Amino acid sequence: MQSQKRLFKKGLIIVGFLFLSMSVAFAQRPDRIKVKPTDGKLSADVRSEAYYYPEFVEGEVAFRNGKVTAGVLNYNMLTGEIEFVNNKKDTLALANMFDVHFVSFGPDLFYYDGESKSLLRLLQDYDNTRLLVKERYELTNIKNVGAFGMESSTSAPTSSSRNQIVRDTQNTLKQNESLIYSARSSYYFADKNQYMPASKSNVLRMFPKSRSELKKYIKEHKINFNNKEDVSQLLQYAAGL
């Protein structure tokens, strides 16, 4: 019985790696995006850079009430919204994200975490334990265009401005300023009840019966919870105990 259980877990690990490699290969995007003053809307060039997928793709949105809706979708990493193309070929943002349970795009599955107000892409799933990643563009610099077109930083983003949605910050930009957004990834664990940032305390909470083994593993392997390979291998180890 134990051998069958370990074999099942090993199969899940392999599936997790295949899932991860397919997703990474499919989604390529720029490391930074520059946003300049406009009329309050993202330019076409910026929007195309901000999308997770190079083109809108067939997908499904599953709501918490059990309803499932299919459509042509994309994930805007700048605004953190799911966008869709309606029957009139207009591009609109999905309203009421708090009602969304998950969104599927081919091999990719995104869950919505209401606490962090973020879409989290599934990387690995071991029964009731999951590893996910939040992938967003975050405001990292504000540039000023001076004489001869030379750019310089005008101010460091504050904690509040860093979390503002881009279309709000655009309205306060001066004509000689631009916002620099950088791609950022952060990792999350999830169990049946909630999503939580990947950390030592949270992995110990998820596996209370294996605290001593996990503490030893984390110390010996110098686990960096901001590193994809480290948190992936840690969760694989924890799930196999």
**Could you tell me the mean pLDDT of each successive run of 10 residues in the chain, 241 residues long?**
43 43 52 74 79 94 94 93 91 89 93 92 89 93 64 52 45 67 94 91 94 97 96 92 87
What's residue 170's pLDDT? Answer: 45
Q: Which of 219, 239, 236 is closest to 228 using CA atoms?
A: 236
Q: Which of 85, 87, 119, 86 is closest to 102 using CA atoms?
A: 119
Report the C-alpha gap between 152 and 56 in whole angstroms.
35
What's residue 161's pLDDT? Answer: 44
Report the C-alpha gap between 30 and 182 in whole angstroms.
9
Classify residue 128 by its DSSP letter. T
What's residue 35's pLDDT? Answer: 82
Q: Which residue reads 């193309």 in tokens?
A: 85
What's residue 149's pLDDT? Answer: 52
What's residue 41's pLDDT? Answer: 65
**Burial per residue of 178-206, b for 16 or more beta-carbon CB atoms within 10 angstroms, e otherwise:** bbbbeeeebbbbbeeeebbebeeebbbeb
What's residue 39's pLDDT? Answer: 53
What's residue 43's pLDDT? Answer: 75
How many other CB atoms are there within 10 angstroms of residue 163's CB atom?
13
